[in-house]
Structure 1
Amino acid sequence: MRLVQLTIPTGKRQTILETLDERGIDYVVTDEDSDRKYTAVVYFPLPASAVEPVLDEIQETGIDDDAYTVVVDAETVVSRRFEALREEYENGDVGTDRISRQELQAEADSLTPTFSVYSVMTIISAVVATAGLLLDSPAVVVGSMVIAPLIGPALGASVGSVIDDEELFRHSVSYQVIGVVLAIVAAAIFAWSVRTMNIVPPGLDIAGVDEIAERLAPDLLSLAIALGAGVAGIISIATGTSVALVGVMIAAALIPPAAAAGIAIAWGQPSAAIGSTALVLVNVLSVNLAGLLTLWYVGYRPENLFSLDKTQQRVRRRVLGLAVIVLVFAVFLGAITYSSFVVSNFEENARGEVEMTLSEDEFSEYQLLEFEVVMDDNYPFVSPEQVTATIGGPQGEIPPELADQLHERINQHTDETVTVEIRTVGLVER
């Protein structure tokens, strides 16, 4: 429910009050005695879904932007006429649960902090995420998402496009670009400092850290996070519900991959940053695409009906452009996913070959103790480089024919030759 406060310009009092009466809206009018050219102020309660159509109709009577309008939350309204309005405008779907276009624009503006605050919070978030990734700590990584101020710019571009506010659109796009660059640069500088000062163990293999490795070679499922975040973000602000948790979800799609890209750069492995950087870009675009489609679906349109066709064409172009770029990135992520699938299959088959070989009668006295597949550094399309099998036997050594068979059988499952290293451990019988 909303309480609307509207100033009435000179000569418009009769027209505005007649409009409210025709709509069956209760109102209170107070005379205005300021030096400005207004005769009165009218107050009237509305269901949230009725704010936009009622204000649009009032504006058509000749109310311009010089007359200010204030819309505030109303906790309780007791009125039979108000209940009739609610039944008229609310039918339970998302389109009628949404806030007005005017409130949406104000909400999008309020979610974006000043540039200095945005920059500082983004840098802090990236630094915390970098520390969490290097510590392999999911809790710290989640903490970095909470402080990231990304939801405003991420959704503001979609709002600006749909309601024909090009200033909001450009402002939000520039914030997103700056935010991504700041996050990657801040992560790279912090990771380089940590490495230079030996705060992390010397020779740390970032590919061996699970929290980092999963973002260096992202898969296609990562795209679902960004699309879901965009839809949830728009629905949350469009219905006036809390956006805090949705902001964390959007940050989850952007901050950790950006931090992983910075770490890869700091470790002197720019090729390893390709996958995580691509993930950041596709997530940014997917959030914007999902937000744009959702806003149009729930019924937001520009204020000026004469600009509707122009806005529709612009929205279509932006949706098409975003969809094509996201599709290209999706193909890229799909290729990474397929590569990971091939590697997983190889690891499973290679282990199976070792176990099958050792189960044969001539090698039954040997047993597999440990098995490891070492990947190369060709991110994001990694491939197996070496297989290391630790085998226990009664004499602490294995016959050459066993090593030959293992090498031959393992390499049957890969197009390129993989080094097979056999380590032996003597087992003492008791």
Structure 2
Amino acid sequence: MLHLRLITPADRTDAVVRLIEATPGTAHLAVVPGAARNPAGDIVLCDVAREAGDELLDGLRSLEIDRHGSIALDSIDLSLSRRADKAEDEAPGEGADAVLWEQLTDATHEESTLSVTYVAFITLATMIAACGVVLDNAILIVGAMAVGPEFGPLAGFCTALVRRAPRLALRSLIALVTGFAVAMAATVAFSFFMDAVDLFHESALEAKRPNTNFIYRPDWFSFVVAVLAGVAGTLSLTSAKSGALVGVAISVTTVPAAANAAVAFSYGAYRQAWGSTEQLLLNLLGIVLAGTLTLLVQKALWARQRERTARKPGPA
């Protein structure tokens, strides 16, 4: 269940209440007239099943509550109520399958913003991966994958394509390109430093490296894994199962490929650097394609579910 908290202008409260009462899957409606001060208006509270949340949010935005008042939505971790159970039964579909598009857009907007923290994380992850490729240490590679924040802008770009939001697409693309560019440039400098203090050696980069040589040898398996990870990552975002994102992060060779390209470039191993760059681009392409197609399928399936529900006859 989700908890909805609204501030509504007094002249729109009745319309909001009618909308909530007419939406299947709502419960615990409460109205506190005149309680809001900034902006002035009434406070309306209710609980709504996740699978009914997107429809209700669309209705509230059509009443321009987001412009003249406020809409806030929180997840309810525990709800002990027979009325809540009944509301979830009345709502169409399953909560785990529902997509809250406004919540997804807001979340990806935040995750795809170019910030000092984002650049710091992706740079540190790339440097950790650089140590991993030189030492041929798979544990360091996995650790770097988990630290890397690049899935946020990728998810933001996919969401922007589906929702036709050019500003979000541009924001995500800037964060992605700038983040990798800064991280790779910093890792080149880091590689020069590590070589100067005799911790990195060109011979280690040119060795067979059985644990990490896949990073600069892209193949169809790389693309297939990226596609599968893109689907899993998108589903984890839309279903609020964020724990799956960790598994997605350590499945795709993005940050390690960027790190290997940077280290190889610092030693003039341009062929290996280009192979790593191909690996990076192939993985990014696979994630974007898979994420976008997953969102499109979810959007189509949920629209079909809502149409079927709308066609069902109401109680006599």
TM bracket, shorter-chain basis = 0.7 to 0.9
Structure 1 215/77 Cα, relative in aligned 2: closer, same or farther at 3 Å? closer
1:405 corresponds in structure 2 to none
Structure 1 80/135 Cα, relative in aligned 2: closer, same or farther at 3 Å? same
- Aligned 8 A contact 1:187 1:263 in 2: yes
Structure 1 265/201 Cα, relative in aligned 2: closer, same or farther at 3 Å? closer
SS where residue 72 of structure 1 aligns? strand
Structure 1 51/300 Cα, relative in aligned 2: closer, same or farther at 3 Å? farther
Q: Percent identity?
A: 22
2:15 corresponds in structure 1 to 15
Cα deviation, residue 194, structure 1: 2.5
Distance 1:23 1:67 in 2: 20
CA RMSD, 1 decimal: 2.4
Write the mapping of 1:310-325 to structure 2, written as runs, cut at 5 A.
none
1:48 corresponds in structure 2 to 50
Cα deviation, residue 43, structure 1: 0.6
- Aligned 8 A contact 1:47 1:86 in 2: yes
Write the mapping of 1:52-71 to structure 2, written as runs, cut at 5 A.
52-71=54-73
Higher relative CO (Cα under 8 Å, sequence separation at least 6) belongs to 2
Q: Aligned match of 1:83 in 82, 85, 89?
A: 85
Distance 1:67 1:227 in 2: 41
- Aligned 8 A contact 1:150 1:247 in 2: no
Distance 1:204 1:75 in 2: 50
Write the mapping of 1:92-111 to structure 2, written as runs, cut at 5 A.
92=94, 97-111=97-111
Structure 1 202/5 Cα, relative in aligned 2: closer, same or farther at 3 Å? closer
- Aligned 8 A contact 2:222 2:282 in 1: no
- Aligned 8 A contact 1:101 1:300 in 2: no
- Aligned 8 A contact 1:32 1:40 in 2: yes
Structure 1 112/78 Cα, relative in aligned 2: closer, same or farther at 3 Å? same
Cα deviation, residue 217, structure 1: 2.1
CA deviations on 1:388-422 (whole Å, 9 max, x unpaired) are: xxxxxxxxxxxxxxxxxxxxxxxxxxxxxxxxxxx
- Aligned 8 A contact 2:119 2:183 in 1: no
2:34 corresponds in structure 1 to 32
- Aligned 8 A contact 1:225 1:253 in 2: no
Distance 1:277 1:98 in 2: 36
2:179 corresponds in structure 1 to 179
Write the mapping of 1:76-225 to structure 2, written as runs, cut at 5 A.
76-92=78-94, 97-112=97-112, 115-201=115-201, 203-204=203-204, 206-225=206-225
Cα deviation, residue 210, structure 1: 2.6
Aligned residues: 298
The amino acid that maps onto 2:214 is E
CA deviations on 1:108-163 (whole Å, 9 max, x unpaired) are: 13434651111111111111100111111111111111211112111111112222
Distance 2:223 2:207 in 1: 22
CA deviations on 1:233-254 (whole Å, 9 max, x unpaired) are: 110010011244145236x320
Distance 1:131 1:108 in 2: 30
Q: Give structure 2 stretches of 5+ with no counterpart.
A: 302-316
Distance 2:289 2:97 in 1: 22
Cα deviation, residue 33, structure 1: 4.2
Q: Give structure 1 stretches of 5+ with no counterpart.
A: 302-430
- Aligned 8 A contact 1:45 1:77 in 2: no
2:290 corresponds in structure 1 to 290
CA deviations on 1:163-196 (whole Å, 9 max, x unpaired) are: 2332221111111111222233233222233234
Structure 1 126/202 Cα, relative in aligned 2: closer, same or farther at 3 Å? closer
Structure 1 37/124 Cα, relative in aligned 2: closer, same or farther at 3 Å? closer
Q: Aligned match of 1:72 in 71, 74, 86?
A: 74
The amino acid that maps onto 2:93 is N
Distance 2:36 2:200 in 1: 67
> Which of the pair is proportionally richer in helix?
2
Cα deviation, residue 48, structure 1: 0.9
Structure 1 75/201 Cα, relative in aligned 2: closer, same or farther at 3 Å? closer
Distance 1:28 1:163 in 2: 32
Structure 1 37/149 Cα, relative in aligned 2: closer, same or farther at 3 Å? closer
> Radius of gyration: which is bigger?
1
Structure 1 183/207 Cα, relative in aligned 2: closer, same or farther at 3 Å? farther
The amino acid that maps onto 1:91 is G
1:245 corresponds in structure 2 to 246
Cα deviation, residue 21, structure 1: 2.2
1:355 corresponds in structure 2 to none
Cα deviation, residue 204, structure 1: 4.0
- Aligned 8 A contact 2:5 2:46 in 1: yes
Cα deviation, residue 207, structure 1: 4.1
CA deviations on 1:291-311 (whole Å, 9 max, x unpaired) are: 11111111179xxxxxxxxxx
Distance 2:121 2:201 in 1: 28
Structure 1 193/231 Cα, relative in aligned 2: closer, same or farther at 3 Å? same
Distance 2:180 2:276 in 1: 12
Cα deviation, residue 212, structure 1: 4.4
Distance 1:231 1:80 in 2: 35
SS where residue 181 of structure 2 aligns? helix
